[in-house]
Amino acid sequence: MDLEKQSIRADSRNSWLNIMIVKMKKLTLLCTRAQQEQTLDKLRDLQVVHVEHVQAPDGADLEKARNHLLYVQRAQEVLAAHPDTEPTGTGPDELADKVWALIHREKELKESIQALEHEHARIAPFGEFDPRAIQKLNEEGLFVKLYELPAKNTPEAPDGVAITEISRGKYDTYVLAVSKNDFTLPAHEVRLPDRSLSRIEHHLEKNKKALEETEAQFQKYAGDKKIADEIVAKAEDAVRYLEVRQGMGTDSAVTYLQGFYPIDREADLVAAAEENGWGYQFEETSDDDMPPTLLRNPKWVNPIKPVFQMIGVLPGYRELDVSAVFLIFLSIFYAFLIGDAGYGFMFVAISLFFKAKYKGNEKAQYIMNLLILMSSCTIVWGMLTGVYFGISFDALPAPLRSLSSGWLIGHGDPEVAKTNVMHVCFTLGAVHLSIAHLWNFIKKINTWEALANIGWLICTWMLYFVVLQMVLDIQPPFSANFLWGGVGIGAGLVFIALLLQKEILGVITLALDIISNFVDIISYVRLYAVGAASFAIANAFNEMAVNALGEKGILIGGLIATLCIFGGHALNIALGAMGILVHGIRLNTLEFSSHAGVQWAGEKFNPFSRKETSTQQGG
């Protein structure tokens, strides 16, 4: 048995195709009803089982726990963290209640202020008066009313009604109408306020001051943010615990749960089961199962984690883990899209500063390492293309010009340089998509899908030469018959594989898929387009700065030039960051992933554990 386990672990470690997606097995764990609480506590400490509910969890205790979680989460949300604020010493049980009292107080004050401001705006055109005096006159038989009359086409006052204008606006006239008899004017009558304008202003000021004091109370509790986080963690633990308990199956005196666990933790489960007297059954996952995805990346791949978390994607359990390819090509795309060695040096310096500042913060280290890697690629590409802060190539110092690639800069001819850089983009696209099909071919070597991927590899490279010919007028190194024959052979292999797999829909859409393959290769030209636009923007602001210095003098011109340099390059950097999100990530998550068959349908491995003590397993 031990030798078998060791073999399984070795196979899991040595499978380079799935080395980053940990293999899962299915668990059914049985215990007596009397053992249920103890079993769940032990299992939670073990942190190894991703629980799948046998039945939908419900019950009064669970509903109460969920409501409590919402309660404390709201209290947590309103507390901004300020490390320099001292904790108030309020106990965990009191903190949420006190914060909620402030939340209610803040809500009441804001609603009151809004109502008072509306009332103030309504009455202000009539100036200061005492509503009680008007009410008294009405009671004594003298009818006094407030009206809002249109400035144009003002209706005439009926006989016996005296009208006094109080104020006039652009479209309306505000009047006081008085009569000994009851009357109605064909205009909007303004309801009498409950209090005078000065009293409204007094209450408005009082409520605003109270709101400021309430907000100051929130700031006072900012030092308790850590306690609030712990309260929420415990509440989340309580909900998760009850969901697992209520989701267990029952059969007579036995209760059981099901879930998935990483294959290399099987020995831990066996030891715990034997120690606690649990019954258990281990099964291989079937095609009907939907195991969670647990990524265990080598350290050099870990910087891609924040990107996956930011865009909220995760490969499915049976899909390829493209983390390494994603990281490598995102760094290359970043270099093309930013394209400026000057920016690259600046980003590396900033990243190194924050890397030192947040030493010990694992997430921050991943982000900084990613920025350093991508910015280093940007430096290399910027040097090869001779781009530094958007400065024209001819204006660069000779040592910097000497670092550039004569072929990439077209030996001084901008049109040739444009063609050559686009050539690199298309080649990069063909390589990127080929990696997807080659990877799929190796993974599915014993299936007909491997034949389809060989077909797509042939199509991709034949279509690559078609793109070069059509877009850049670069003739392929072989005849047109060979080129289109290659496309036909590739399409034929895909067609045969689809028929053998009985993928009728794939057969019907094959022609469209080939066109889509062609379009996908062309889409990599966006790397050139965005990079060229970035240089053009930076260069334009540089020229504006130089012109301002020449035309406006040292003082005024220097100020304008400074604004152009800093404002223009800041704008350019912001646009570059958007370009990374829109184009760099898209080429990985859509174009490449569609060819690799990655649909990002993964569910994150979330072992049953205590939140406040749980550790992320394997990343």
Which residue has tokens 């791949």? Answer: 301
Residue 17: pLDDT over 70: no
Instruction: Compute the distance between CA of residue 493 and CA of residue 455 in angstroms, rounded to an integer.
Output: 5
Let me know: does 192 contact 123? Beta carbons within 8 Å: no
List, for residues 479-528, the tens digit of each pLDDT value. Answer: 989 999 999 999 999 999 999 998 899 899 999 999 999 999 999 999 99
Section 302-310 average pLDDT: 91
Question: Per-residue pLDDT tens for 353-382?
Answer: 999 999 988 889 999 999 999 999 999 999
The reply to whether the predicted model has a pTM over 0.85 is no
Give per-residue pLDDT as tens, 424-476: 999 999 999 999 999 999 988 889 999 999 999 999 999 999 999 999 999 99
- Length in residues, the chain: 619
Rounded to whole angstroms, the Cα distance separating 393 from 386 reads 6
The predicted model gives 33-52 an average pLDDT of 93
Rounded distance between C-alpha atoms, residue 185 and residue 148, angstroms: 10
Task: Supply the angle between the helices 526-552 and 554-579 in degrees, to the nearest 10.
Answer: 170
pLDDT for residue 126: 93
In eight-state DSSP terms, residue 49 is -
Confidence tier at 6 by pLDDT (50, 70, 90): very low
Per-residue tokens: 67: 């409501």
Question: Where does the pLDDT of residue 612 fall: very low under 50, low under 70, confident under 90, or very high at 90 and above?
Answer: low
Task: Look at residue 329 in the predicted model and tell me its pLDDT.
Answer: 96
If one counts every other C-beta atom within 10 angstroms of the C-beta of residue 471, the result is: 15
| Strand arrangement, sheet containing 172-179 | 161-168, 172-179, 143-150, 188-190
Q: Find the mean pLDDT for residues 311-330.
A: 92
